[in-house]
Structures are given as C-alpha cells and as structure tokens.
Amino acid sequence: MRNSLSSILLPIGAIAAALLLFGVFVWVAGVNPVEVWLLLFKGAFGDWYSWQNTLQRAAPLMLTALCVAIPARAGLVVIGAEGALVLGGLAAAALAHAVPLPASVVGTLLVCLAGALAGAVWIALAGWLRQYRGINETISSLLLAYVAIGLFKHLVEGPLRDPASLNKPSTFSLAEGLRIGGIAGSDVHWGLVLGVVVCLVAGLWLRITPSGFAVRVVGGNPRAAQLVGLPASRLIVLACALGGACAGLAGAVEVAAVHYSANASLIAGYGYAGILVSFIARHQPVAVIPVAIVFGGFGAAGSLLQRRLGLPDASVLLLQGIAFVLILASEALRDTDWKALWARVLRSAGPRVAVATPPRSQTEEITQ
C-alpha cells in the first residue's frame, strides 16, 4: 500500500510543484498566476468545447506514450515516438493514394494498419541496433526521429505532394469513406476510443500473458532472463516494435481523423509530449489514459492563455518541461533513505552539532 501511494502521490506532487513554478514564471512576466491557473483549468475542462479539444489531443498522446512505456518495461529508454508518428501518418496517406481501398471500415483499418506497420519497423530498428550493434537506444531512437522527420518532409514536398496544395505542401486527401468520424457528431473522434482500447490491451498483455511477463523479466533482470533461457534480444526488439506500432497508429489516426492528409501539421510534438506522459504514468499502460487526458488539457489551454493574457501559445511547453524535470527528480528521490541521509548530514557537521537521542532500553544498548 505504501508503494502504491508513493506511485500515485509523487507524480501528483510533481505536477502541483510544476504549476507553482510556472506561476512564478508568469508572475515575473507581469501576469497574475491565479488567473493563469484558472484559465488552464477552464481551457482544459471548463465546458464541453474545452473537453472536446482536450480529448482530441489526448488520443495521440496515449499512443505515443505507449511507444515509451512498452520498451521501458523491457528495460529500454526509447524517445523516438515523434519519428514513428510522422512515418505512420505518411504511410497511411501513401497507401490510401497508391492502392484503391474499399470506402468502408475495412479500408480505414487498412490505413491504420499501414501506419502501425511503418512505426513498428522504425522503432524496432532502434531495438535491433541496441541488441546487435551495441548502440544506445535513447540516442539512436532520437536520431532516427530526426531522420524520419527529414524523410517525411522530403516525400510530402516532393514525390507524394498533391499539386493542388500550394501554400501548405500535403499529400492527396483521403477519400471520405476512409476517414474516422466523430463520436455522436462531436469533434471527439473514434481515435480516442482506439487509444483507450490499445492502452487497456497493452496493460493486460504485460500483466497476464507469458510473453508480457517475459518482457517484464527481461526489463527487470536481463541476466536472470538469459539464465532461464528467455530470448532477450527478440523480446526487446518485439517490445520496440509494439511501441513503434502504437506511435505509427497515432500518426495514421491523425491523418484519418483530423488532417485527412499528411502535412507539416503532423509534426506537433505529440511524440515528445508522450515521453512525459509515460514517465508520469511510470510506464503503466493503464495509467497512461488519465495522464494523457490531463496533458491534453494543458495543450488545449495554450490558445486560451494567448487570447486572454497575451502569453505565448507555446508557454504550456514551459509547463511541460518543468513537470518533466520534477518527475525525473521525484523518481530519483523515490528510494532515498531519508533517515540515513539525515544521519550523514549530522555526522558531517562535526561535534558542534549535539543531537538529543531518546533513552534506550537495556536490550537496545546490548544490540548497539
């Protein structure tokens, strides 16, 4: 119970501290921090329109967070979800243009499958480089993200460009029958439901299936996994491929439900924000759902801060950055032995510090 409370309270405390520090920054800029906090809440959850913007942004955050969370359960730190997302969106748009797909649910599923496959291959490459070439997966996945963004821009502005897209280069638009519509006529598309389902399935896979348990064993103790005969390399590549598939699916959903074509709007930072969401959720797929909704709300409130208070729209990125630093700090302090640390501080202070100790029993004296 103590560990569970720690896992819940530490991220909440880190977010609260991030909001306080963000208030200090805006106060220095001459803005009332209380008004900023109220507008953040109003822009994220104040009314139905705000909820729609929040949930629309939460859908890709859930899937890109899984690109970090699933490999993390195998002991890897993968931060290249942005590259898998843009390639997933590009693959979805390219397939819809190159192959005559049925204008039905089957065609939409094929578009999403193409995006997931592209993302899986891209992130699996980072896992393969780590296991078979000894290249750090954090660095390789980040560099692969930049390569993917460059490749995306080249293809969108070149071979796959729609000649009708003049000011904003884009691929050809998806047919009406391939698009993902809104839920009950709202702006919240069915990609949100897909993201929630994928998070739940990923959580169940890690917890109750033999392969998911094997991935967790590899992440917990690689030497023990090898001693019991688990194929550690294949499991690590599998975890990377599954995480990349989730990020690629996020790109396909953005194309099919929001933009209807692959263009520069896909490069919106969802892959990088997913890193923060995954760390706050402690790489638990089910916990990713509420955290993604909260940070989707922060993103939705950015424009309101700009309109009402004159703050830059990107000011919420500062809030996310502060939260990320504090989350990392809270993880570092999670297992700190505060009693031993305080004892070392007192010892380092020398004989000038007198510490009053309570009387001990005879048994304690003998034990000491």
Q: Report DSSP letters for 241-265, one per residue.
A: HHHHHHHHHHHHHHIIIIISS-BGG
Q: For residues 347 and 300, is the Cβ–Cβ distance under 8 A?
A: no
- Using CA atoms, how far residue 276 sits from 15, 78, 281, 309, in Å, is 11, 12, 9, 26
- Give the Cα separation of 340 and 348 in Å (integer): 12
pLDDT at residue 338, as a whole number: 57
- Reading the block at residue 186, the tokens are 């709202």
> Which of 162, 164, 174 lies closest to 111, judged by CA?
174
> Which of 46, 24, 15, 93 lies closest to 258, judged by CA?
93
Residue numbers of the chain with a pLDDT score lower than 70:
1-7, 331-339, 341, 349-368
Please name every residue paired with 182 in a beta bridge, in sequence order, or none if there are none. Answer: 189
- Give the Cα separation of 274 and 336 in Å (integer): 27
- Reading the block at residue 202, the tokens are 């990923």
Please name every residue paired with 189 in a beta bridge, in sequence order, or none if there are none. Answer: 182
- Reading the block at residue 240, the tokens are 């990377």
pLDDT at residue 152, as a whole number: 95
- The DSSP 8-state label assigned to residue 335 in this structure reads T
- Give the Cα separation of 76 and 130 in Å (integer): 9
Domains and CATH numbers, the chain: 2-339 (1.10.3470)
For residue 306, the tally of other CB atoms under 10 A from its CB is: 15
- Using CA atoms, how far residue 110 sits from 6, 105, 227, in Å, is 42, 9, 41
pLDDT at residue 323, as a whole number: 85
Using the Cα atoms of residue 184, residue 186, residue 188 and residue 191 in order, give the sign of their dihedral.
Answer: positive
Query: Tokens 């094929």 belong to which residue?
Result: 110
- The DSSP 8-state label assigned to residue 103 in this structure reads S
pLDDT at residue 359, as a whole number: 55
Using the Cα atoms of residue 319, residue 324, residue 325 and residue 331 in order, give the sign of their dihedral.
Answer: positive
- Using CA atoms, how far residue 318 sits from 104, 283, 308, 314, 323, in Å, is 42, 22, 18, 7, 9
DSSP 3-state assignment of 159? coil
Q: For residues 274 and 247, is the Cβ–Cβ distance under 8 A?
A: yes
- Give the Cα separation of 16 and 13 in Å (integer): 5
pTM, full prediction: 0.86
Q: Per-residue pLDDT tens for 190-205? A: 999 999 999 999 999 9
What burial letters (b/e) apply to 213-238, b meaning 16+ CB within 10 Å?
Answer: ebbbbbbeebeebeeeebebeebbbb
Amino acid at 289: I
pLDDT at residue 339, as a whole number: 64
pLDDT at residue 13, as a whole number: 82
